[in-house]
Amino acid sequence: MFITVEGPEGSGKSSQLPALAEYLRQQGHAVSTTREPGGTEIGNQVRAVLMSLQNTAMNARTEALLFCAARAQLVEQVIRPRLAAGEIVLSDRYADSTLAYQGYGRGCDLGQLRCLLDFATGGLWPDLTLLMDVPVEEGLRRKRSGGGEWNRLDAWEVALHQRIRQGFLEIAHANPERWIIVDASQSPEMVQLAL
Ligand code: TYD
């Protein structure tokens, strides 16, 4: 089973993911976790180009292609083999982030992006996706005060982050059989209970 966790900046997904993986292991499942962009040696090199604060001139289509390049490597090298071995794969972000960020956020055509994503993933879409939803201001405030990495994408204007959040919500509402929306503005303990 392939599960992805998505959300706008500062939704707390990366800190909730280990607890979710642990819970699934306690239920007797073999679980692998991955994160995007990255998760492979080649993917991590692509990640460095994407995140660098020097690359402010990056075109939206260049960005979409680079995220997809890193993902293609991750799917073939890690995700498909683990799924074939019967494991649950839990990924911190996946293809829906490209639709929300490069599509709804930066204006790439959604239909073209879906074709590109099918090409990059060989048609592998998650069985289940959790959307950790948080208001944009709250998410950015958490990120700023969290002391973690502040990358090129975090520095985008607030209106762009608003479009990304709305994009995630729109995709989730259009596919209720795959998506579960979690209110991630609650305390970490409450979010964990909701999961
Ligand atoms: P990261 O530091 O991993 O942040 P987060 O904890 O928010 O996942 O940075 C990944 C950034 O890349 C994040 O701003 C979301 C963005 N992103 C895209 O724009 N498109 C994509 O396809 C993916 C996977 C991520």
Q: What is the pLDDT of residue 172?
A: 98
pLDDT tens-digit readout, 161-195: 999 999 999 999 999 999 999 999 988 887 877 77
Q: Whose CA is nearest to atom 4 of ligand 1?
A: 9
User: If pLDDT is split at 50, 70 and 90, which confidence band does 19 have?
Assistant: very high
Q: Which two tokens stand for residue 168?
A: 């995630």
- What confidence tens digit (pLDDT) does each residue in 112-162 have? 999 999 999 999 999 999 999 999 999 999 988 887 778 888 888 999 999
Contacts of 41 (CB under 8 A, 6+ apart): none
Q: What is the pLDDT of residue 103?
A: 98
- Look over the chain and give the mean of its residue pLDDT values, rounded to a whole number: 94
Q: What pTM does this model have?
A: 0.95
User: Which one of 53, 153, 161, 163 would you pick to mutate in the ligand 1 pocket, going by the greatest count of ligand atoms within 8 A of its CB?
Assistant: 153
Q: What share of the chain in percent tops pLDDT 90? A: 84
**Contact by Cβ (8 Å): 6, 167:** no
Residue 153 Cα distances to 29, 50, 58, 89, 166, angstroms: 35, 9, 11, 26, 17
Query: CA 13, CA 7: separation in Å to the nearest integer?
Result: 7
Q: Using a 6 Å CB cutoff, which residues line ligand 1? A: 9, 14, 36-37, 67, 93, 97-98, 101-102, 149, 151, 153
- Structure token digits, residue 43: 């993917």
Closest C-alpha to ligand 1, atom 14: 153
Split at pLDDT 50, 70, 90, the class of 62 is: very high
pLDDT at position 47: 96
What number does the ligand 1 atom closest to the CA of 14 have? 6
Q: Which residue has the higher pLDDT, 96 or 195?
A: 96
The closest residue, in CA terms, to atom 11 on ligand 1 is: 153
Ligand 1 centroid to Cα of residue 6, in Å, is 9
Host H or E run for residue 34:
strand 31-35
Best residue among 5, 13, 71, 97 to mutate for probing ligand 1, ranked by most atoms within 8 Å of CB: 97
What pLDDT band is residue 2 in, cutting at 50, 70 and 90? Answer: very high
